[in-house]
Amino acid sequence: MDEPTPEKLIHFYDELTEAQAVLPTKDYQAYLTKWGVSESKAASYCAMFDPKRTGFIKREDLCSSLHCWPNQPAILREVEVLTTDMSAKKKESILLLVLEGVNKKKSKQERLQEIKERIERVYGLGWNVFMADGRYWSVCSHKPGTNLVFVHKGIVYGVHQTPAPENAERDNCSVAH
């Protein structure tokens, strides 16, 4: 992974803490490594964000250390979400991950495979990724909270995590574009 921007470091924190005020430093460090930040760099960031070694990081400590107080990343303004059942920050994280992957100079198949592998490193196994540059219809079973379909620059992208076979009827999505 390239050096993460201050906005991305704060976004990772926001996704982890949607329901809590502080985050254990070790949890944030582990999450950064899941996203591809080296262990030594993740430790260095966490030391910067928790200089008193309290074992916890607050968002304001993160923003102050990075001199960055972001809102939504600008690239997300170019996205039209067609359907999702993800939490807001998880949706943003997946969107950023997909958009970062599709801009690489590789074949479509290689880009999709790389996106799938990166999503699975962070969110676990069983993810499906697709892109379509024309009309399409889709019906799928997915784990609740893992479905996202969006349009970016005229191309439709979708991701969802397949449930275990015994839960295959748990949640369904249907999309046409």
Asked whether residue 175 carries a pLDDT value surpassing 90, the answer given is no
Please tell me the predicted confidence (pLDDT) of residue 174: 52
Instruction: Print burial letters for 19-34: b (CB count within 10 Å at least 16), e (below 16).
Output: eeeebebeebbebbbe
Query: Domains along the chain?
Result: 6-66 (1.10.238.10), 75-176 (3.30.740.10)
pLDDT category at 170 given cuts 50, 70, 90 is very low
With H, G, I as helix, E, B as strand and everything else as coil, classify residue 69: coil
CA distances from 123 to 34, 152, 164 (A): 9, 23, 15
Whether the Cβ atoms of residue 141 and residue 165 lie closer than 8 Å to each other: no
Q: Where are the alpha helices (DSSP H) in 35-170?
A: 39-49, 59-66, 88-102, 108-123
Distance of CA 17 to the CA centre of its chain: 14
Please tell me the predicted confidence (pLDDT) of residue 17: 78
The β-bridge relationship of strands 22-24 and 127-132 is unpaired
Give the model confidence (pLDDT) of 42-94 as tens digits: 999 999 999 889 999 988 788 888 888 777 777 888 899 998 888 878 888 99
Please tell me the predicted confidence (pLDDT) of residue 46: 94
Query: What percentage of the chain reaches a pLDDT higher than 90?
Result: 47
Give the model confidence (pLDDT) of 86-114 as tens digits: 887 888 899 999 999 998 899 999 999 99
Specify the higher pLDDT residue, 29 or 13: 29
pLDDT category at 173 given cuts 50, 70, 90 is low
Q: How many helices (H) and strands (E) are present in the chain, helices listed first?
A: 6, 8
Please tell me the predicted confidence (pLDDT) of residue 165: 60
